[in-house]
Amino acid sequence: MKKLKIEGKELRAIGYPEGPVISVVMNLVQKEYKHQSKEDVMELLKKVLASPVEYKDDAVLALIAEKLMPKPVSENAELSLNQQGIQFNVFGQEHIEEGAMHQMYQAAKLPISVAGALMPDAHSGYGLPIGGVLATKNAVIPYGVGVDIGCRMCLSIYDIDPKELVQKENFFTRELLEATVFGSGAQLDRAADHEVMENDLFRELPLLKHMHGRAWKQLGTSGSGNHFVEFGVVEIGEKDAILGVEAGKYVGLLSHSGSRALGATIANHYTKLAISKRRLPQEAKNLAWLQLDEEEGIEYWNAMNLAGDYASACHHIIHAKIAKQLGRRPVKMVENHHNFAWKEEWEGQQVIVHRKGATPAGKDVLGVIPGSMTAPGFIVKGKGEMAAVNSASHGAGRKMSRTKAMEAVSDKQFKDEVEKHGVKLLGGGKDESPFAYKDIEVVMQSQKALVDVVGKFTPKIVKMDGAKHRSWSKKNQREKLTGDEVEGE
């Protein structure tokens, strides 16, 4: 039997008001009435609209009724943090800055917190630290996800002799330059086609309706900061049953970027709503949350998932363009989100696991953990370690801020380091130099209990956002960095 689907325009046609209640109704219908006839469900929804107070105690329809009834005046009292926070495990603590530890301790004291962990690449962010993992009960923290929602890694492995990266360097360079554009405001002259742009949320949520045109123009583009698309050498020591790639050396195409302006707009909008609804002490205000049984929480959850799908589509468009030019299909594609939240089981209950700059590492789950523009990255397989809430680091992690890196590293040091590793760098600046990052080998050593390494990626031709716009002058160092530069980790 075909599952029932009701569109927003049908609800508006019977009198439902424009706004969040539309997405609440659609969500409940798909969950609770998916096998009933449309006529019966629409008649029921008309009754709820006509007299919501009669359904305020209904096991299923109370949520809709609540949204239709006048809102009581809230005293908006400040919420208190727990004196004793939940226990959380820290991996590679000797390499983690105090600021990130402090932020994690704050998160552990939230009344909604259930479990947590801090990854070895951790450093300070907004709200939850980058590298922070937090499981909550029936609540999602927009800044626990991050600004660059669904930022992800995507690796295509090609059965091509890596020697061709040297022999045909100009060819591979050209393909990187033509496959995408970089920068916080970058757009394509000709928008790509992808089903993600047909998502109903672009029509149902006013916030997203206004973003649709820009999001389409940015589909298939890459961010600034530490975002990249690069060719390199993939080494598989021995065939792993889950990865399924024979031992040997291959050409790899690795990309890292997120949901562009779409994700940043969603994050900032719902963070403001969360802060207005949950008054926390000043030092913890960026950890404000939305309940998943309230309209704003449902909206954010749906929008977050759309941003994740959008980020994935951006990568797939880039990889498809290059695959077409190579005239090959990859033998394997490995990809994973970070800066996201998932519904997972934890000790018999459903929780929301935030991984802000952390890689999912459930049992046998594949992922990619990059190093820097010169350091290797690793294809990993999760061990499902509960002490880490089934997570691992998302990269090497910064040891210098962007401003400090620009001040501390000379042009010559930067140039010499890149040349020493035989990397051809297209764009990129000192703020993303290898010196700005922790030693990826040390980070991987700190999480041996969390993942198995099943492959290695060594960068050779690296395309990042151009550095010319970000000179090393005091003026530019004072400028505020954009969301995907700060949170696209």
Range with top average pLDDT, 64-78, 227-241, 454-468:
227-241
Model confidence at 478: pLDDT above 70:
no
Distance, in Å, from the CA atom of 26 to the CA atom of 6, rounded to the nearest integer, reads 6
High-pLDDT (> 70) share of the chain, %: 93
CATH for the stretch 152-487: 3.90.1860.10
Whole-prediction pTM? 0.82
Q: pLDDT tens-digit profile of 127-182?
A: 999 999 999 999 999 999 999 999 999 999 999 999 999 999 999 999 999 999 99
pLDDT band at 71 (very low <50, low <70, confident <90, very high): low
In this structure, is the dihedral angle defined by the CA atoms of residues 37, 40, 46 and 51, taken in order, positive or negative?
A: negative
Q: pLDDT tens-digit profile of 216-238?
A: 999 999 999 999 999 999 999 99
Mean pLDDT lowest among 85-99, 233-247, 350-364: 85-99
How large is the average pLDDT for residues 21-41? Answer: 87
Q: Would you tell me the crossing angle of helices 260-277 and 295-326 to the nearest 10 degrees?
A: 170
Q: Would you tell me the crossing angle of helices 169-179 and 295-326 to the nearest 10 degrees?
A: 150
Contact 207, 266 (CB under 8 A): yes
pLDDT band at 20 (very low <50, low <70, confident <90, very high): confident
Distance, in Å, from the CA atom of 137 to the CA atom of 150, rounded to the nearest integer, reads 21
pLDDT value of position 79:
85
How large is the average pLDDT for residues 383-400? Answer: 96
How large is the average pLDDT for residues 100-111? Answer: 95
Q: What is the overall mean pLDDT for the chain? A: 91
Among 388, 438, 389, 368, which Cα is nearest to 91's?
Answer: 388
Tokens of 165: 């990266």
pLDDT value of position 17:
80
How large is the average pLDDT for residues 445-461? Answer: 98
State the SS3 of 232-298: EEEEECCCCCCCCCCCEEEEEEEEEECCHHHHHHHHHHHHHHHHHHCCCCHHHHHHCCEECCCHHHH
pLDDT value of position 5:
83
How large is the average pLDDT for residues 314-329? Answer: 97
Q: What is the C-alpha end-to-end distance of the chain, expressed in Å?
A: 44
Higher pLDDT, 330 or 66: 330
Q: Which residue ranges make up each domain of the chain?
A: 8-68, 152-487
| Count of residues making up the chain | 489
Model confidence at 481: pLDDT above 60:
no
Among 81, 68, 125, which Cα is nearest to 100's?
Answer: 125
High-pLDDT (> 90) share of the chain, %: 74
